[in-house]
A and B are shown apart, each in its own frame.
Chain A
Amino acid sequence: DSGVTQTPKHLITATGQRVTLRCSPRSGDLSVYWYQQSLDQGLQFLIQYYNGEERAKGNILERFSAQQFPDLHSELNLSSLELGDSALYFCASSGSSIDEQFFGPGTRLTVL
């Protein structure tokens, strides 16, 4: 158990809809990262927050947005969903160092 929790575990929705994925980092970790893993793809970095502020941005679509709240939990919002958005979405957290990230179990999103 990494100490990072993600909800929900599975999510099935339809094209055009909007969903919110939630992540609670390990106790004391200030950084939260979001990743997308599509079929046969590696982990694609989406975005990083550090203590409530956006720190780095990767290949995140404009239809996607994220935020980190004062209690350090984070949400990833995916809107106008397309079939290609079906993937595993992982959240990870780390302390002040970027050398080791602790990953949550992931949310599997299926868009029908």
Chain B
Amino acid sequence: DQQVKQNSPSLSVQEGRISILNCDYTNSMFDYFLWYKKYPAEGPTFLISISSIKDKNEDGRFTVFLNKSAKHLSLHIVPSQPGDSAVYFCAATGNQFYFGTGTSLTVIP
């Protein structure tokens, strides 16, 4: 049972535009949410996180939004750059980590 879902396996965006990656979860007990970025042949790297007591967290070009009532979070990247092309995983924590299946982002120069 996939408790964290990323329903878009891939996304293409023009350089300079906004990238929006979405993630849904099923367990209302999750209290911390994270986004990881993964390049081929490398392990995932932590990008940004948000606590369930907040609805927004910003770090430079990256902003994560949390909508608890909809059990939905999203990652916004503005402006998108070609170096952002990677697979993005969202994750949620309760008593353990749950990861989504990832969204492959391609930023077109």
Partners in one complex: yes
Find chain B residues with CB under 8 A from A56 CB.
95-96
Interface size class of A (residues with CB under 8 A): 20 to 34
> Roughly how many angstroms separate A2 CA and B44 CA in the complex, as a whole number?
10
Closest chain A CB from B32 CB (angstroms): 6
Question: Is the Cβ of B43 less than 8 Å from the Cβ of A100?
Answer: no
Q: Total number of A-B contacts with CB less than 8 angstroms? A: 58
Find chain B residues with CB under 8 A from A42 CB.
2, 4, 6, 89, 99-102
Question: Is the Cβ of A45 less than 8 Å from the Cβ of B99?
Answer: yes
Interface size class of B (residues with CB under 8 A): 20 to 34
Closest chain A CB from B4 CB (angstroms): 7
> Roughly how many angstroms separate A43 CA and B44 CA in the complex, as a whole number?
10
| Given A45-B97, A48-B96, A99 and B32 contact (CB-CB distance below 8 Å) | yes
Find chain A residues with CB under 8 A from B41 CB.
105
